[in-house]
Amino acid sequence: MRLRRPRWSGRLSLTQQVALLSLVPIVALGFILAHVLETQILTRTLADADQSAQLIARMGIQPRLSPRDLRQGLTPAGIRTLDEQLSNRQVSRDLARIKIWNQQHTVIYSDLHGLIGRTLAASDDLANTLAGRPNAAQLITPSAHNETAGEVGLGQLVEVYVPLRFAATGRPAGAFEIYLSYRPIAATVARDQRTIVLLVAIGLGLLWGVLYRIVARASRRLRGQARENYDLAHYDQLTGLPNRTLFIDGVTKAVDREESGPGAVAVLLIDLDRFTEINGTLGNANGDAVLREVARRLSGDLDNGTLAARLGGDEFAVLCPGTRGISGAQTVAAAVQASLEAPIVLDGVALDVEASIGIAVMGVHAGDPDLLLQRADAALAHARLRCSRVEVYTEECNRFDARRLMLLGEVRGALERGEFILVYQPQFDLPTRSVTGVEALVRWRHPEHGLLSPSDFIPLVEQTALIGPLTLNVIDQALCQMVAWRRRGIDLDMAVNLSARNLLDPALPGQVADLLARHGIAAARLTVEVTESAAMVDPDRAIAVLRALRASGVGVSIDDFGTGNASIGYLASLPANEIKIDRSFVTEILADARAEAIVRATIDLARNLGLTVVAEGIETEAVIEHLISLGCETGQGYLLSRPLAADRLTASLTASFGLAPAGPRAPATLST
């Protein structure tokens, strides 16, 4: 399954929507402008017509009239004179009709002779003109029911009333009613309107084009920014794989599909082993190259139905829709491991990259996507802790993870409250069965969970900076107990355990020296125990810390010897003075020839290197006798003594030392 980036398209793009929406007001604006301009053109044309009518009346007609003509009417000769004047082209080119009225509303002249001598009802415009009030030219359509009955059939006309005056003052003697044909005016209006509309359309078209380009450019930028923001929010920028957000979305969609029945969806969480070492040794650039190569393999080598993602750091995930239950998920996990088998070559260096995988299956381990991811994470934590490469979720994973997570949050407070206590397991000189020293073992007296063993909390604390304060607290308690025993005449060596993280702290030797000085304990009486695997996490730094401790006089013991992967040459470089043979070999020394051979070889190796040997896990007398025969003189185990609280061990040691202590290093046997 491949999640695709969204294709930023729809029925209408943002640019198209803006173009259409902006076109509507621009077209409306065009119509409004055209209407306004048409009105202005018509108004201007009517004003021009009014001036033309005034000119015709004043210059062409009024000079042929007299006040007597208005009172008594025109003679036939006067009518012919006006007819001749109106036939003049300059006067009559736009003239459609003319009427001359006197104050009695009688038509004394008209180019339509049938109207001459008739008295008609005056219109409001005529009455205003005869009263000396101004009238503007107006556009009319003649009607058979009023004074314009004679003009019916001439089409639309421009009607103009011009007062007829023969004196500077007083009311007009009469009025000219002039009708101009609207056809030439309409042609002029139409011509001007076409020109204006064309210019407005071109201007608005250019404006819309500019707006469209601006919006289109902004839209392209917005789409590009949206794609970039989507990629940043949903894809890992280093590997190009989907990130946590998109992966969770993919899980949700896969679970919501109708065909996804129980066991059909599985999640694999993948964590690269020792990636911190790769980053620290080869640098971040090479570390990034490793992550990119892992991403390429996960996305290219798995089935097309899977979805690979990078969740962060060195943690990856694979979504498997259509998985056939747990077995199908394990098959995918095997494919993931196989894809990582080939070494990754960087600058000529071949790196073997391994991974821990946690598996959870929908419908088997969880009922919703959030719980599915949580349980896959719990399985991954279990796989990392057990170094088991692949773990399928079980209830044990959940209990383990949840309990330790809560405990981790309580460590700091437990240190402040003094909840960490020590128990002590004696170490014996095997031939004499006398106590030569003790190993301090930490326990957590938890107020709710009771007494917790180190395996319940140390692995988790080792992953945090709290391991330093906890280790110093253990050493401080152990030295305090040595002082308390010394006051009772009991003088024993003390051994404490260090974790891998302690060996990376260059300040540790100085801190241990300060504690020894504060309690007045000689450095030679304290031994620190480290495992092979802890010393191999960062060999150079670990050796530097151990050499500093050894130089101060503190003893160094290699704990659980034989279970790690260190070479003999590397062990020889460690500044150790003691080897502790792991209990797994000691308990089987009589039943397993290989275990016996390992113990024998270890004792011979220690003798040749000048080291002392301590055997752990002694549980039978026969084992003690065989160890003595092989040359091992020191041991510890349940047969000799279980780890004891300080007060119980003190009582037994007091009984042994109290009668006749033989100097500061007098041996003792535990009283039973």
pLDDT in tens, 627-651: 999 999 999 999 989 999 999 999 8
pLDDT tier, 664 (very low <50, low <70, confident <90, very high otherwise): very low
Return the higher-pLDDT residue of 24 and 177: 177
pLDDT tier, 228 (very low <50, low <70, confident <90, very high otherwise): confident
Q: What is the pLDDT of residue 191?
A: 80
Q: What is the mean pLDDT of residues 404-417?
A: 81
Q: What is the pLDDT of residue 632?
A: 93
Q: What is the mean pLDDT of residues 253-278?
A: 76
**Gap between the Cα atoms of 655 and 664, Å rounded:** 16
Range list of H helices, 261-366:
275-282, 284-301, 325-339
Max mean pLDDT among 111-120, 157-166, 443-452, 477-486 falls in 477-486
As to burial, measured by CB atoms within 10 angstroms (0-12 exposed, 13-18 middle, 19+ buried), residue 54 is: middle
Max mean pLDDT among 319-333, 395-409, 508-522 falls in 508-522
**Gap between the Cα atoms of 601 and 593, Å rounded:** 12
Q: What is the pLDDT of residue 282?
A: 76
Question: Is the overall model pTM greater than 0.85, yes or no?
Answer: no
Alpha carbon distances (Å) from 129 to 5, 51, 53, 57, 150: 81, 16, 14, 14, 20
Share of the chain above pLDDT 70, in %: 86
Question: Can you tell me whether residue 375 is helix, strand or coil?
Answer: helix
pLDDT tier, 471 (very low <50, low <70, confident <90, very high otherwise): very high
pLDDT tier, 666 (very low <50, low <70, confident <90, very high otherwise): very low
Return the higher-pLDDT residue of 325 and 317: 317
Residue 665 has pLDDT above 60, yes or no: no
Residue 222 has pLDDT above 80, yes or no: no
**Gap between the Cα atoms of 580 and 614, Å rounded:** 5
Condensed to tens digits (0 to 9), the pLDDT of residues 112-158 reads: 888 888 888 888 888 888 888 877 778 777 766 555 656 666 677 88
- Closest CA relative to residue 138, chosen from 161, 104, 154: 161
Q: What is the pLDDT of residue 173?
A: 87
Residue 600 has pLDDT above 90, yes or no: yes
pLDDT tier, 225 (very low <50, low <70, confident <90, very high otherwise): confident
Domains along the chain?
18-188 (3.30.450.20), 244-393 (3.30.70.270), 417-647 (3.20.20.450)
Within 10 Å of residue 585's Cβ, how many Cβ atoms?
Answer: 23
Q: What is the pLDDT of residue 394?
A: 81
Q: What is the pLDDT of residue 120?
A: 84
- Closest CA relative to residue 484, chosen from 476, 434, 514: 476
Condensed to tens digits (0 to 9), the pLDDT of residues 205-219 reads: 787 777 778 877 877
Q: What is the pLDDT of residue 660?
A: 33
Q: What is the mean pLDDT of residues 291-297?
A: 90
Round the average pLDDT of the chain to a whole number and report it: 82
Max mean pLDDT among 355-364, 368-377, 422-431 falls in 422-431
